Amino acid sequence: MSNTLAINGGTPAVPPGTVKPWPPVDEVDRQMVMASLEGGVHTFGPNCTALEAEFAAWNGNRYAVTTNSGTAALHLCLAACDCGAGDQVIVPAYSWSSSATCILHSNSVPVFVDIDFDTMNLDVTKLEAAITPKTKAIIVVHLHGLPMEMDKVMAIAARHGVAVIEDACQAHGARSQGKKVGTMGHCGAFSCNQNKLHCSGEGGIFVTDDEERLRKARQLWSFGETATPAESRDYHAYALGWMYRNNDLTAAFGRAQLMKLDSYLEKIKQNAQVFRQALEGTPHLIQPEEPEGCESNWYNYTLRFDMEALGHAEDAAAFRDRLGAAMRAEGVDTGVWQSFILPAMTVFQAMNGYGQGCPWDCPYQEPVDYSLEQYPEAQKHCDSHTGLTFPLRPPNGPEVAEMTAAGIRKVMENVGKVP
């Protein structure tokens, strides 16, 4: 391979058209979606009920509820844990926006905890200090598919009598001490959107093992009613409800993809191993770690650039963007996942949730502080990362992982030539 960077006119390391899109779709998907279409029930239907049973069995939960997004499933978790006015909920300072905005939807207030740079997950050593008498729940996010050390989280939560919500939106099949995510906290949320490893286009799944939490979640899920559309309903709003139900076509696609999920997870793991080996020794590149007992599903293979060593600690995000542009010119399908830490987002800095200061100004609430210097690790990660998803997923195999790694290595070995 020539050393001339593609961004400077050289030949791309990964030829155009090499990386195939996600997810693979076959006859099983086609048949199940067409059967739903012909089946005549297009709202919450038999495929939804079947998906709930099948996902619960696959993950090892007693109950699952299909929703129209992972965000909706997260909101159900807040309801299932009785979070309301005056409550605080702890969440990592770096995640998807709705890991934290779901807290506002339950009229509670987020309290952010910095992340651990190495794992990119909430820093469990800082968790206990963030718990106050107002804390009702902790949302842990298994970010990029790497599970939290749940035994530590659960021990802290038990000491303080607070609930644990697992944001497992990215983490299907990941395991902490051998246990699948979504089975260790009091309830959990998965996303099934286009990028997720269990994809149905859009959609989500709420899981719990607790019947009472299931009841509370189901009530919020369907107009505050007490019965599902599959049961006899009185169309009465017993509590505040939303419309978070899934539909039959989406659930049919979700069921078809669930049948193939274990084989996808196995292939992604193999591709990630090949990728890691091919990247070994690449200058100024920080590879993701799997701490002892934590098994990632490699949802997003996230790399960081060593900005201190590169001499770009001061302008890290701008330099990272230049490296990213050079990599994309090589045909490497890489990108920045989140370019803002959560507390820096306007909704939190301006406290403009429901207007008039709500929920922060609620008379039952204590003031919280979102000054950004509290989250140095989240900011450092945010400014120095880039991630990969599709190149490591089927139908792409190890040869695509190797080509992609070669493109990254080429840029990092010629970093002085990056325009």
* 338 near ligand PLP, rule: CB under 6 A: no
The partner residues of 301 in beta bridges, in order of sequence, read: 388
Helix 46-59, helix 248-279: angle, nearest 10: 30
For ligand PLP, the binding residue among 29, 166, 167, 377 (CB under 6 A) is 167
For ligand PLP, the binding residue among 33, 137, 141, 329 (CB under 6 A) is 141
For ligand PLP, the binding residue among 7, 77, 163, 169 (CB under 6 A) is 169
* 250 near ligand PLP, rule: CB under 6 A: no
Residues 6+ apart with CB under 8 A from 229: 43, 44, 222, 245
* 207 near ligand PLP, rule: CB under 6 A: no
Task: Provide φ and ψ at 44, rounded to 5°.
Answer: -60, 110
Compute the half-sphere exposure of residue 106: CA atoms within 13 Å on the CB side of its CA. 31
Q: Within 40-69, which residues bind ligand PLP (CB under 6 A)?
A: 69
* 70 near ligand PLP, rule: CB under 6 A: yes
The CB-of-367 to ligand PLP minimum distance in angstroms stands at 27
Burial of 21 (0-12, 13-18, 19+ CB in 10 A): exposed
Toward ligand PLP, which CB reaches closer, 143 or 278? 143
Toward ligand PLP, which CB reaches closer, 7 or 189? 189
Toward ligand PLP, which CB reaches closer, 68 or 365? 68
* 98 near ligand PLP, rule: CB under 6 A: yes
Per-residue burial over 244-272, b if 16 or more Cβ lie within 10 Å, else e, is bbbbbbbbbbbbbbbebbeebbebbebbb
* 204 near ligand PLP, rule: CB under 6 A: yes
For ligand PLP, the binding residue among 36, 61, 71, 246 (CB under 6 A) is 71
* 246 near ligand PLP, rule: CB under 6 A: no
Edge-first strand listing for the sheet containing 301-305: 285-286, 301-305, 385-388, 334-335
Q: How far is CA 341 from CA 41, 100, 262, 357, in A?
A: 42, 11, 32, 21
The CB-of-414 to ligand PLP minimum distance in angstroms stands at 33
Asked whether the beta carbons of 289 and 118 are under 8 A apart, the reply is: yes
Binding residues (CB under 6 A) for ligand PLP: these are 69-71, 95-96, 98-99, 141, 167, 169-170, 191, 193, 204
